[in-house]
Amino acid sequence: MRVLASLFASTHAQIDPATVVEIGKEIYQAIEDNQPVIDTTIDWAGAVPQGITDWTQLENWQGPAQTDGYSIEFKNGVGMKLTKFAWRFVWKYGGDMSGVGKYVTQAGIDVDTAYAYLSEHLDVEVKSLKPVNYGTSDAPVGGVD
């Protein structure tokens, strides 16, 4: 029992809830050659405590949550649609480590529409920006910009 307690203390000593780091992928393809290629099992980012390597090490996750839809559309000079890309941001939130902090995981996009006219080409790359602590050192709130 003493060995387990020592191992637990040693493992948790390497985790810093106040320092928010990114896990997952920093950059990934969502659309390639006019087709969605996103794999939501691996194409996402998260903001978790330093020392955490897998979001399942945290508990009390909520969601997934999602935004309203966003889109961008390009038309030619006569108003004909050439390309359109529509998506929503999605994420799980509220994960904590033994009641400390609120973190985010599986943050990414959900593709609604990927359209390109025959003469056009559509590629979309997603890049997660730096992780942020929107809270305090005592009550961290992780986010990915």
Per-residue pLDDT for 4 more than 70? no
The three-point CA angle 33-36-37 to 5° equals: 90
Residue 13 CA to its chain's centroid (Å)? 26
pLDDT at 113: 96
Q: Is the omega angle on the peptide bond into residue 64 within 30 degrees of 0, that is, cis?
A: yes
Residue 89 host element (H or E): strand 81-97
The CA radius of gyration of the chain, in Å to the nearest whole number, is 19
Residue 109 CA to residue 79 CA, distance in Å, equals 28
* Reported pTM: 0.83
Residue (of 37, 32, 19, 144) closest to 89 by Cα position: 144
Per-residue pLDDT for 10 more than 80? no
Placement of tokens 């691996």 in the chain: 42
What is the rounded average pLDDT for all residues in the chain? 91
pLDDT at 145: 81
pLDDT at 58: 96
pLDDT at 12: 55
Per-residue pLDDT for 6 more than 50? no
